[in-house]
Chain A
């Protein structure tokens, strides 16, 4: 049972344009959502998060939007840069035990 889904395995975007990565979840108990970025041969790196009490969180070029009614979140990167090329994982957690459920990832390629 995949509770966090990233339906696009890959995405290609031109440098300078907006990258939009999508994530859907099924568990209504999730109350905290995170995005991680992963380069080859490295561990995932935390990027940005959002609590379920918010619908938007922004950090520089990265913005995460949460639509609780649709159980959907998205990560916007603008402007996209070649260094953003990586695999992006969406993750969600609930309660105080911090068990985090990850999606399968979307590979982003930013073309110079």
Chain B
């Protein structure tokens, strides 16, 4: 158990809909990262927050947005969903001063 929690575990929705994925980092970790893993693909970095502020951005679509709240939990919002958005979405956290990241179990999103 990494100490990072993600909800929900599974999400099934339809095209055009909007969903919110939630992540609670390990206690004390200030950085939160979001990744997307599509079928047979590696982990694609989406975005990083550090202590509430956006720190780095990767290949995140404009239809996606994220935020980190004062209690350090983070949410990833996916809107106007398309079939190709079906993937595993991982959240990771780190203390902020180390490069090792601790990953949550992921949320499996299926868009029908």
New contact pairs (13) apart from A46-B101, A100-B45, CB-CB < 8 Å: A6-B42, A42-B106, A43-B92, A43-B104, A43-B105, A44-B92, A97-B55, A98-B55, A98-B96, A100-B33, A101-B45, A102-B45, A103-B42
Report how far A34 CA is from B42 CA in the complex, Å. 14
Report how far A103 CA is from B56 CA in the complex, Å. 18
Instruction: Verify if A85 is at the interface (C-beta below 8 Å from B).
Output: no
Shortest beta-carbon distance from A3 to chain B in Å: 11
* Residues of chain B within 8 A of A44, CB atoms compared: 43, 90, 92, 103
- The count of residues in chain B whose C-beta lies closer than 8 Å to any C-beta of chain A is 27
**Which B residues fall within an 8 A CB radius of A?**
2, 4, 31, 33, 35, 40-45, 48, 55-56, 58, 90, 92, 94, 96, 99-106
Report how far A78 CA is from B48 CA in the complex, Å. 35
A34 close to B48 (CB less than 8 A): no
